[in-house]
A and B are shown apart, each in its own frame.
Chain A
Amino acid sequence: GENVEQHPSTLSVQEGDSAVIKCTYSDSASNYFPWYKQELGKRPQLIIDIRSNVGEKKDQRIAVTLNKTAKHFSLHITETQPEDSAVYFCAARRYNTDKLIFGTGTRLQVFP
């Protein structure tokens, strides 16, 4: 079955710096890769997603890149702000299923 590994588990950055979170997946048939953000005490919410037919996708300060050959994808946050502080989860889904497998999460702290 699918296995998703996520690194780092914790990440601390200064406000204004960039943050990068990386994930690798095991199932080469996976074709959908979303990222969810979970603020403290709240439910996870989708922030961006990418499909396997695209190499990069951007939405304001957030971008995701996908390397299908290496089976890894990354979340990039530029000009970080304190409100970006949260736990971020990557996930992967095989093309013929609804099963979504999440990574172990990255706790991002942005210091003012």
Chain B
Amino acid sequence: GAGVSQSPSNKVTEKGKDVELRCDPISGHTALYWYRQSLGQGLEFLIYFQGNSAPDKSGLPSDRFSAERTGGSVSTLTIQRTQQEDSAVYLCASGTPVGGSNEKLFFGSGTQLSVL
């Protein structure tokens, strides 16, 4: 595709259920990021990947959150035993490595997660 694709666009779940969010980055982008945006709030860093490895997982809020990336492409963010405070928009972005000629990040349209 031409841009970063995220699915689902909306997810409503019950407290305690697990959810899986998917991000399909722009082809050729080796860096992939997950951010969380609560209503009216900033972009909270969760994790980023360089290829399939995650050099920095420091932003993951708790051990209920995990992410993986396979084949240097698609990434999934999994939230186990969801809580109401997990409700937010989860944004994925992809880009080229540090020092590349264009370091712009391209964002997906996000997954709106609502935990009831």
In the complex, the answer to whether B105 meets A100 with C-beta atoms within 8 Å is yes
Q: Is B45 an interface residue (CB 8 A)?
A: yes
Inter-chain residue pair count (beta carbon < 8 A): 59
Q: Does B90 contact A (CB under 8 A)?
A: no
- Return B39 CB to nearest CB of chain A, in Å: 12
Interface size on B, residues (CB 8 A): 25
Q: Beyond the given A34-B103, A100-B48, A105-B41, could you list 5 further A-B residue pairs with CB under 8 A, ordered by the A residue number?
A: A43-B91, A45-B107, A98-B31, A98-B98, A102-B44
Interface of A toward B, CB cutoff 8 Å: 1, 6, 32, 34, 36, 42-46, 49, 89, 93, 95-105
9 nearest A-B pairs in the assembled complex, by CB-CB distance:
A104-B42, A102-B43, A43-B107, A46-B104, A105-B42, A98-B31, A99-B56, A44-B107, A43-B109
Interface residues of B (CB under 8 A from A): 31, 33, 35, 41-45, 48, 50, 55-56, 58, 91, 93, 95, 97-98, 103-105, 107-110
